[in-house]
Copies of this chain bind each other. A is one copy, B any other.
Amino acid sequence: MLRQHEFQIRVRYEDADPMGLLHHSTYFVYFEIGRTELLRASGGNYRLMEEEGLFVVVAKSECIYHKPARYDDLLTIRTTVKRITPAKIEHEYFALRDGERLATGRVTLAMVDRNGEVQRIPDWLQEAEIGEH
Residues on B with C-beta less than 8 A from A29 are 12, 14, 23, 25
User: Does A102 touch B at the CB level, under 8 Å?
Assistant: no
For chain A, the count of residues having a C-beta within 8 Å of the partner chain is 37
Copies in the complex: 4
> Are A23's CB and B18's CB within 8 A?
no
Which residues of A are in contact with B by a Cβ distance under 8 Å? Answer: 12-14, 16-21, 23-26, 28-29, 32-33, 36, 45-47, 50, 55, 57-65, 68, 70-72, 116
Q: Give A65 to B116 CA distance when docked, in angstroms.
A: 13
Residues of B within 8 A of A50 (CB): 18-19
Complex Cα distance, B59 from A24, in Å, reads 9
